[in-house]
Amino acid sequence: MEKGLIVRGLRVSVESIEILKGIDLTVEPGRVHALMGPNGSGKSTLSFALTGHPKYTVTGGSATLDGSDLLALRPHERARAGLFLSFQYPAAIPGVSVANFLRGARTALRPGDVLPPAKFKKLVTEKMQLLGMDSSVVSRYVNDGFSGGEKKRLEMLQMAVFQPKYAILDETDSGLDVDALRAVGESVNAVRSANSETGLLVITHYPRILQYLHPDTVHVMMDGRIVKQGGADLAERIERDGYDPIREEVAGGVA
């Protein structure tokens, strides 16, 4: 069995318009991959297609998760298989407490491993302490009245409680000020320290969050294709020079 979240030649359309034009990408267990690119390049389309959003139609290629055909699974089955998505814009759910949401979601993900209330409370308390979160959060309604930073940290709490094999963080840094960005970056690292085998695909168009996450590989996407990849220094180059030099390289046929 080949380990990893492995994407080969993936082509995806939205309302008959092709957005992804042949994506090749491998996220290994315990490794951090950053997917960068300007707005409209197809980064979020990749995240939604992999997690099974019905709006996104796969027209070619393959995606496997630890050897299993990911595309053959329904969205909830992909989550049970170990795939997690942190949303760019997490939705508020008034009337549903964080505690009830976490318990219901974990039960749905692991129906054969339902924890008694006391053990579940202990698990959530441990993860909140790991992330430095106030215990009062669990009694609040999901994202209702939360700041941008609080919403993103709640996403990290979900990742800590659910312990996925592979996590896609879709522009987790979006809309965060400097302090919130640092807090979220530290939260991601805390989750990784507790579960070092989780593979991460961090989607962003700014390299700010990567100074906390230290990616193993940086991929650059433009116009539905991955056009360049390298180490963390590639993100530093984008921070310094922007995307235009890479556009020029691609136009000139430079690998």
pLDDT in tens, 110-160: 999 999 999 999 999 999 998 889 999 999 999 999 998 899 889 999 999
Percent pLDDT > 70 in the chain is 98
What is the pLDDT of the chain when averaged over all its residues?
Answer: 92
- Residue 255's pLDDT is 52
Confidence of residue 196 (pLDDT cuts 50, 70, 90): confident
Lowest-pLDDT range of 71-80, 215-224, 242-251? 242-251
Distance of alpha carbon 144 from alpha carbon 174, whole angstroms = 18
Choice between 72 and 176, residue whose per-residue pLDDT is larger: 72
Task: Kindly state the percentage of the chain with pLDDT values over 90.
Answer: 72
More confident residue, 48 or 180: 48
Q: How confident is the model at residue 254 (pLDDT cuts 50, 70, 90)?
A: low
Q: Check residue 205 and give its pLDDT.
A: 80
Q: What is the CATH number of the domain that holds 176?
A: 3.40.50.300
Pull the structure tokens for residue 117.
Answer: 């209330």
Q: What is d(CA 32, CA 217) in angstroms, rounded to the nearest whole number? A: 7
Contact predicate 198/33, CB 8 Å: no
The domain total for the chain is 1
Would you state the pLDDT for residue 1? Answer: 65
Phi then psi dihedrals of residue 212, to 5 deg = -95, -25
81 is in which domain, residue-wise? 5-251
pLDDT digits (tens, 9 = 90+) for 74-124: 999 999 999 999 988 899 999 999 999 999 999 999 999 999 999 999 999
**pLDDT band, very low/low/confident/very high, at 190 (cuts 50, 70, 90):** confident
This model's pTM is above 0.95: no
Task: Answer whether residue 20 shows pLDDT above 90.
Answer: yes
CA distance readout (Å), 138 to 15, 38, 154, 176: 39, 36, 10, 22
Instruction: Give the list of residues 6+ apart from residue 71 with CB closer than 8 angstroms, or none.
Output: 58, 62, 63
